[in-house]
Structure 1
């Protein structure tokens, strides 16, 4: 019994495949998990940031286009394979990038992206609690004051406590927080359209647009594409805990597209009518003291569950990418170490928070390219068949060893996709090419990375027999998703 508990814990907090018995989230559970993720403060903040570029009609269209494409591509590149095999996505990525390639990706792009999001969420929590304090107790806490940092540190400590308990605790909290957030979001939407006429909303000017209207719209679409892609680092590792493919894909799209759009519309409409893109500022003026405080409290707690979900997936990635170096580190210690940099960044509340659009678009450049490579590898080259045992074999015993543990084709194709993104749109300088207004930058990044991966695989890997692309399909059947018992699956 003790041995089985150790294996079960390793499946939940490590990188082993999960069995059917260990898959704890059904359709409703995963729907609430994703709604809880989607209706965190960042969804309202995204709506406010969109309002800085375009008006309501263009903003709604940009949100629908950007989130639908971004979330759709992201789900194909993460949720489908992880749910099928019951394996967290960074172990599965060994088939596209090699063991060493995944480690490089995890300790660079993924680690700093998710630390950035963790810092943003903790600061959002701090600012929300500060606004509640200002209204309830008459304090005068500024958005970048030390108390905001202290509240952010409280959020980090709370998220670490939830995280240490595992996915069942995250599920329990989301069953409470997500429905409350959904009700409050709809309530604020009704309140907005009750107190603001349709004509006023349609006539409201964007907060800080550029002179070129077509560029503003393209930037708004690109920004929302980046938001859709931003879910990629966490979704696969969460989806492996779902009971069926249907319980993984549709709840993810319902939450990360549907619920996100509703929350973003609230944020955009409030920003256009109240003149501030920061949801922690406009929630109380919009809903009044009591409703505004209730909204801020719910949003603050939603950020705790969002933080826990983000760090759960990221630390699973760190554990498998770190190999023997991190395998022996206790889960509580590993997750606590992850929070060190976000805790330091909390002492500079405006560093990422005030550069939200820039942060999202930069991360989108790399995540879009990764998604293009993964989709080409999993769906086109491998036809959704992987050698599960080969994912855990070491060195040349694994078909995914490639060249010294690195799949040069996957790495180069991803780099080419990111380069295509930056060539069309440089988030730092805001320089764009004419094609950006028609194609955005994320969509070409996905296409370039995917096509490059197909070509480079044919050129570099298949002639040398690297990567297991020509392995018989019957040797690559999924194991974790069968009805085999724990002993057979292990």
Structure 2
């Protein structure tokens, strides 16, 4: 009796905790489908060109672009050469974003579901898991910097009593008391933002990108005016020459690409909300490269100018603002750091939502669609981001950060497979209902749910990069052949994996490889007396798909 009662309670709560289903919905919650995984219906496609322009201002105007110059200067490039690398890399990011986002704006499907088409219904979990792991770490790091923005704001308001409060934590904690308190204040402010659905985020993001633009140019004007010029760093020459410089330029391009690799592979997560098929093109084609270029240039100039003022380089803007408060708490300094910190707070909130929470929430929804949707996935991601104690990665110079920054070698091949599969293998044609069918009738079931073509293609695009990757992590890179292949890692993985995937599908075509059919599911419901459909909780999990064209 006790066992039966326990089973009944488990069954009750399992049903109770299922994800909500829209009224009069044409889908059901199954192990493959929920509201956030289906092709986005027309009433939820609300994003205009302005929304996507704001998206890329938020995505491009961040710490990664701000500090890109420091990475390139460390490779021996001059400021002019560094900016040339950033221009070239940002244009490539823009082009890949347009192509990767095409499926979202035209077929209204995200990266998570499209992975099933190229990798197989079960194999599709592999690229999804890769993105989840990296997003958890980056989410933690970005929330830490959000806490630093709170520290700057409260330090400006309250003064030294808050900004320089007594530290009660040991050195081994890798964080001080003020930063830890600020971190949790940021989380308290950030979590309610996760309740806003993606289709209604345009207004908050517009406010954020206006604040970001004013902040960057405000800091630029202040620093150049105070230093009476742009400083000496801006004129620094290159310290490398010949083939070493050429290979460092190549590595610099792919390193900048790697910073946005997670965002561009999942572009369709956002473009599926586009109001019109071309709504995202201005943001991807114009705002994307322009924002990255301007932010990187401003970061270089501000760093150079403030070095004239304070006698040391501050590549990270948060560290710059905290240093200003440490040397001056005049009314002007407090006002300036307050408004700048407020803008960075808005930037970090938007960045955590755009680049981490929503996309990863969708990825997590794919792991268990019946009980996890985007919103729940966002909260799970946030909990994990806190649990990993991200300050350990930010404040410690460890090989883990090197590993994380080089993770693009795995994502580049996945991006190539995704794009080659959709344009060359499928010819932009999809059997949409088959993406939610977990048996051999699905066009994307392949062999026991795995597409060997994608697996082989990805491995062939990754293994030649591993020796150079390992050597760079160990700090023993010496310019041999493996190191040079790694210097081209993003291009190599993208092209090799994508091409082999296409060739294998050409040599070994799959059933229904091309052709299209709509998203139509047979819903297992009962009809009560009042004529309205009600879900049958005893339904089986495999959706019966109707209306498929046989190819």
Give the TM-score taking structure 1 as reference length. Answer: 0.84
Asked whether the 8 Å contact 1:230–1:360 carries over to 2, the reply is no
What's 1:282 paired with? Answer: 320
Q: 1:181 to 1:207 in 2, by over 3 A?
A: farther
Asked whether the 8 Å contact 1:83–1:236 carries over to 2, the reply is yes
Deviation (angstroms), 1:365: 0.9
Asked whether the 8 Å contact 2:231–2:304 carries over to 1, the reply is no
Deviation (angstroms), 1:132: 3.8
Q: 1:378 to 1:30 in 2, by over 3 A?
A: same
Among 286, 293, 297, the alignment partner of 1:265 is: 297
Map 1:392-407; keep pairs closer than 5 Å.
392-407=436-451
Deviation (angstroms), 1:406: 0.9
What's 2:96 paired with? Answer: 73
Equivalent-residue separation in structure 2 for 1:257 and 1:9 (angstroms): 40
Q: 1:312 to 1:5 in 2, by over 3 A?
A: farther
Q: 1:267 to 1:5 in 2, by over 3 A?
A: farther
The reply to whether residue 140 of structure 1 matches residue 140 of structure 2 is no
Asked whether the 8 Å contact 1:222–1:441 carries over to 2, the reply is yes
Asked whether the 8 Å contact 1:270–1:282 carries over to 2, the reply is no
Equivalent-residue separation in structure 1 for 2:284 and 2:249 (angstroms): 26
Q: 1:374 to 1:437 in 2, by over 3 A?
A: closer
Equivalent pairs, count: 467
Asked whether the 8 Å contact 1:66–1:222 carries over to 2, the reply is yes
Between 1:301-310 and 1:67-76, the stretch displaced more is 67-76
What's 2:43 paired with? Answer: 21
Equivalent-residue separation in structure 1 for 2:396 and 2:423 (angstroms): 37
Q: 1:252 to 1:150 in 2, by over 3 A?
A: farther
Equivalent-residue separation in structure 2 for 1:9 and 1:193 (angstroms): 58
Deviation (angstroms), 1:146: 3.5
Secondary structure at the counterpart of residue 396 of structure 1: coil
Deviation (angstroms), 1:36: 2.1
Equivalent-residue separation in structure 2 for 1:170 and 1:178 (angstroms): 12
Deviation (angstroms), 1:363: 2.0
Equivalent-residue separation in structure 1 for 2:34 and 2:346 (angstroms): 24
Deviation (angstroms), 1:199: 7.2
What's 2:215 paired with? Answer: 184
Secondary structure at the counterpart of residue 224 of structure 1: helix
Secondary structure at the counterpart of residue 473 of structure 2: coil
Deviation (angstroms), 1:441: 1.9
Equivalent-residue separation in structure 1 for 2:461 and 2:269 (angstroms): 24
Deviation (angstroms), 1:148: 2.0
Equivalent-residue separation in structure 2 for 1:236 and 1:196 (angstroms): 45
What's 1:381 paired with? Answer: 425
The reply to whether residue 237 of structure 1 matches residue 285 of structure 2 is no
Q: 1:438 to 1:92 in 2, by over 3 A?
A: closer
What's 2:4 paired with? Answer: none
Deviations 1:240-271 (A, max 9, x none): 00112221232134343221221222223333
Q: 1:412 to 1:91 in 2, by over 3 A?
A: same
Equivalent-residue separation in structure 1 for 2:417 and 2:389 (angstroms): 34
Deviation (angstroms), 1:96: 0.7
Asked whether the 8 Å contact 2:422–2:429 carries over to 1, the reply is yes
What's 2:86 paired with? Answer: 63
What's 1:153 paired with? Answer: 184
Deviation (angstroms), 1:369: 1.1
Give the TM-score taking structure 2 as reference length. Answer: 0.75
The reply to whether residue 126 of structure 1 matches residue 147 of structure 2 is yes
The reply to whether residue 305 of structure 1 matches residue 324 of structure 2 is no
Secondary structure at the counterpart of residue 123 of structure 2: helix
Q: Choose between structure 1 and 2: higher helix proportion.
A: 1
Asked whether the 8 Å contact 1:62–1:220 carries over to 2, the reply is yes
Equivalent-residue separation in structure 1 for 2:337 and 2:430 (angstroms): 50
Q: 1:353 to 1:50 in 2, by over 3 A?
A: farther
Asked whether the 8 Å contact 1:391–1:400 carries over to 2, the reply is yes
Between 1:252-261 and 1:222-231, the stretch displaced more is 252-261
Equivalent-residue separation in structure 1 for 2:193 and 2:281 (angstroms): 25
What's 1:93 paired with? Answer: 115
Asked whether the 8 Å contact 1:47–1:268 carries over to 2, the reply is yes
Between 1:399-408 and 1:170-179, the stretch displaced more is 170-179
What's 1:39 paired with? Answer: 61
Equivalent-residue separation in structure 1 for 2:55 and 2:394 (angstroms): 28
The reply to whether residue 172 of structure 1 matches residue 193 of structure 2 is no
Deviation (angstroms), 1:6: 5.8
- Calculate the aligned-residue CA RMSD, in Å: 3.5
Deviations 1:392-441 (A, max 9, x none): 22211210001111111112212222223334554413525458399622
Which structure would you say has the larger Rg? 2
Asked whether the 8 Å contact 2:121–2:438 carries over to 1, the reply is no
Deviation (angstroms), 1:196: 5.6
Deviation (angstroms), 1:84: 0.8
Q: 1:288 to 1:259 in 2, by over 3 A?
A: farther
Equivalent-residue separation in structure 2 for 1:266 and 1:285 (angstroms): 19
Deviation (angstroms), 1:120: 1.4
What's 1:416 paired with? Answer: 460
Deviation (angstroms), 1:181: 0.8
The reply to whether residue 317 of structure 1 matches residue 363 of structure 2 is yes
Deviation (angstroms), 1:80: 0.6
Equivalent-residue separation in structure 2 for 1:34 and 1:101 (angstroms): 31
Deviation (angstroms), 1:239: 1.0
